Structure 1
Amino acid sequence: YISKPFNLDILLLRIQKLINEEKARQKSFSQGINIDPGEVTITSVDEQFIGKVCAMIRKNMDNPEYSVEKLSADVGMERTVLYRKLNAIAGQTPSDFIRSIRLKHAAQLLNKGYQVGEVADMVGFNTPKYFTKYFKQAFGVTPSQYKVNL
């Protein structure tokens, strides 16, 4: 909130801080393993939205057929609106968001001692090879290496 009349320098500084906060939230979401909607959002409406999206993804975690179309139907939004909203809040496309939630859950399961093949099935990847490819892309190591480095 900036009261009127306002100084242009103060307005520009406030805008820059908001942009930096948004980038920091997006970075923390994309790099963290824990999924906490409160860390990603700035308003309670956004937090509720992310919470609902995460709940739908968790509910369908082991379903490899769960797609952006099904997510948008579950959330009650058109696909394009969902795309814009997730991109604005989390800095990711809906398909990337679904994959990142699955991979973060996979990392948590690997921490609990599950085998790589089991985890791939539990988080909705069709094959361990496909799972390994995206896990390595997200975390920089293969699931097996991740499990050994615990």
Structure 2
Amino acid sequence: MITQVLDSKKKSPKVLVENKISFAGPDSELKIYDTYQQANRVQLKSDQLLFCAMVSGKKVMHASEENFDSDFLPHESFIMTPDSQVEIDFPEAQLNKPTTCLAIEISKERVQQVAQSLNEQHSLQQDFGYWHYEHRLVHTHHNVATQNVLNRIVQIYGEDHPDRSAMISLAVSELTIRLLRHQTRDFILSFCQNEPDKNGLSAALNYIEQHLNEPIAIDSLARIACMSRSKFFTEFKQHLGCTPMAFQQQLRLKNAANALRLGESITATCFAFGFTNTSHFSRIFKQFYGLTPSQYKQRHLLRAC
């Protein structure tokens, strides 16, 4: 989907390294970068938050401030904080097979507005601190939901629609919320690991993490959290953005992905994290990551070579 939309927007390149096409929007800008020849240490910097998503090919990202060096491949996200700088290698770019990446620049003011709106809606700050963007590089394999948002954003930016600006604003807000949610969830999990007895929700989250390969029940988690069933369910969804069952499955999938990256077999990984059969595991893994377990494993084994 996203490749088809981008192909329709491309013209003859003016330069062979990081040829850029830009589309302006409210508090944001979409940039499409194509590189047609191998290159090393190409600098990239933005004074705003920059959300990058690989479409085709391979980059190698370097950030000296964070001692960061990593491959950047399709279905992955790389988020740069405002005023940070990276250097990029293009080891596979060819004239007839360019390395393509899209970058969505989101103003600092928009990120702050979205964070403030979330703070007004949720009571997260009472236990874990305020919603805010943590100023560090983020490199992650984004899930299908994030990929769908990116598909919509690319489609909307290129449309000549009377409500284009409003639709871009909504889509960029959704992408920002997903980014903030991802960082906040990581913070909450880290907090719970360090202080599992701080509050009821911390205790329940710690229990889920320690029993990933076991079935869980809302009533049991509510007792661990010292809450009624309804209060626990509401608090959990408010802080984590999903149900306890969905959260456990997401943790299982992320841990399974880590195991596959380390070369574990698909069958052993499946059963180690509580999945009942390999067909079911493969299906929901692809729904979450956009790749089958075998495709995901092969990609990371090739990366390690």
Match of 1:104 in 2: 254
Distance 1:132 1:111, change over 3 A: same
Measured after TM superposition, the shift of residue 128 of structure 1 is 1.1
Deviating more after overlay: 116-125 vs 50-59: 50-59
Larger Rg: 2
Match of 1:143 in 2: 293
Counterpart-to-counterpart distance in 2, 1:104 and 1:29: 16
Unaligned runs of 5+ in 1: 1-13
User: Does residue 19 of structure 1 match 2:125?
Assistant: no
Distance 1:85 1:126, change over 3 A: same
Match of 1:53 in 2: 204
Match of 1:7 in 2: none
The residue matched to 1:149 in structure 2 has which SS? helix
Match of 1:81 in 2: 231
Deviating more after overlay: 21-30 vs 81-90: 21-30
Q: Which has the higher contact order (CA 8 A, sep 6+)?
A: 1
Deviating more after overlay: 126-135 vs 65-74: 65-74
Match of 2:278 in 1: 128
TM-score, structure 2 length as denominator?
Answer: 0.36
Counterpart-to-counterpart distance in 2, 1:56 and 1:29: 19
**Residues 79-133 of structure 1: CA deviation (Å, up to 9, x unaligned):** 3222211211121112111111111111111112111111111111111111112
Distance 1:36 1:133, change over 3 A: farther
**Overall identity of the aligned pairs, in %:** 22
1:32-47 pair list within 5 angstroms: 35-37=186-188
Counterpart-to-counterpart distance in 1, 2:212 and 2:260: 15
Measured after TM superposition, the shift of residue 53 of structure 1 is 3.2
Alpha carbons 1:117, 1:128 under 8 Å: kept:
yes
Q: CA RMSD in A?
A: 3.1
- The structure that is strand-richer by fraction is 2
